[in-house]
Amino acid sequence: MKLRIGYDLVYDCPQPTPMMLTLNVHFTRVSDVEVPDHLVTDPRVPLKAYRDAFGNWCSRIVAPAGRLRLRADAVIYDTGEPEEVVRVAEQHEVQDLPDECLVFLLGSRYCETDRLSEVAWQLFGQSPPGAARVQAICDYVHRRIVFDYEHARSTRTAAEAHDECRGVCRDYAHLAVAFCRCMNIPARYCTGYLSDIGAPPPYGPMDFAAWMEVYVGGRWCTFDPRNNTPRIGRVLMARGRDAADVAISNTFGPNVLSTFTVCAEEIAEPDDPAGLGHAAAGGSRQ
C-alpha cells in the first residue's frame, strides 16, 4: 500500500524570524519512502538540515517578514495491515535497562512524574508488570480523558489532563507516558502521521498525531492511548521526552500560524481505482 503524506503551513511574521522545524519522516522509515518529503518554502529561503539530540531530522530557516508557506508532498510505502498488538513482554528492572533508556524514566516538561507517582502506584501497582501494565495504563487514560479539540491547550501537562479529564492526542500521550515512567517503564513521546484507513467515520480535519513507545521485552513497542486500537498507516516523524522536544516548529519571534493542513491518505493502485482495498482514508483530529 502507498500513502500520500504531507502538509501545508502558512506563517505570518512581522519581522525576520528564526525557526527550528521538525517536519521530516523519521530516518527509521527511509527505506519506505518513494517520494521524499522535501521541505519547500515560498518564498524560497536558505535551509540547513541537522539531527537533534534524539536523532530526529530537523531544519533551520529564517522566515522573512511577511507570509511564509511551508509544504511537503510525499509518498511512502506501508504494509496496509493493522499494527502489532504487544500483549506479552517483560518489564525490565531499572538496573538492567540499556543506558539510552534511562532518560525516558525521568520527569519532563509535560510529564510530571513527581506529581503523578502516588496516583500511578495506587492505580497500577497491582497490575501484572510488563506489556499488560502498559495496556492497563492505556485503557485507563483512554477512559479518563474525553477528546475535546475545542478545549486544546498547548500548556496542559499530564497532571492537568488527569485532573481536567479532557484533552487531545498529546494529552493522552503525555499522561500515559508519565504513568509508565512512574511505574519504572521507559516511555517516549512520538509524533507523526496517522491515516484514517480502517477507522469508522465521521472524519474531521487531519492533524499530526501523538502516541508513545515503551521499552518492554527488550525493544521499543508502540502504544496509542488516544485510539487504543491497532491502526493502519502510522508514520513516525519524531521522538522525544514529550511534546516540547518534537514541536513541528520552534519560532524565535512573533508570528501567527494562519494555515494548517495535514494529509495522510491511501493512494489507489491501478487495479483498485476507487481505493476499495481499504476503508476510505480521510483526515481526522487524532
**Which residue type occupies 237?**
M
Q: Is 223 left (phi over 0), alpha (psi -120 to 50) or beta?
A: beta
Phi, psi of 46 (to 5 degrees): -60, 140
Domains of the chain: 2-80+248-267 (2.60.40.2250), 94-245 (3.10.620.30)
Cell 504487544 found at: 86
Residue 260 CA to residue 245 CA, distance in Å, equals: 20
pTM for this one?
Answer: 0.92
Contacts of 95 (CB under 8 A, 6+ apart): none
Residue-level pLDDT, tens digit, the chain, 286 residues? 999 999 999 999 999 999 999 999 999 999 999 999 999 999 999 999 999 999 999 999 999 999 999 999 999 999 999 999 999 999 999 999 999 999 999 999 999 999 999 999 999 999 999 999 999 999 999 999 999 888 899 999 999 999 999 999 999 999 999 999 999 999 999 999 999 999 888 777 789 999 999 999 999 999 999 999 999 999 999 999 999 999 999 999 999 999 999 999 999 876 655 444 433 333 333 3
Which run of H or E residues covers position 188?
A: strand 187-194
Nearest one of 58, 68, 71, 69 to 25, comparing CA atoms: 58
CA distances from 174 to 150, 168, 169 (A): 18, 10, 9
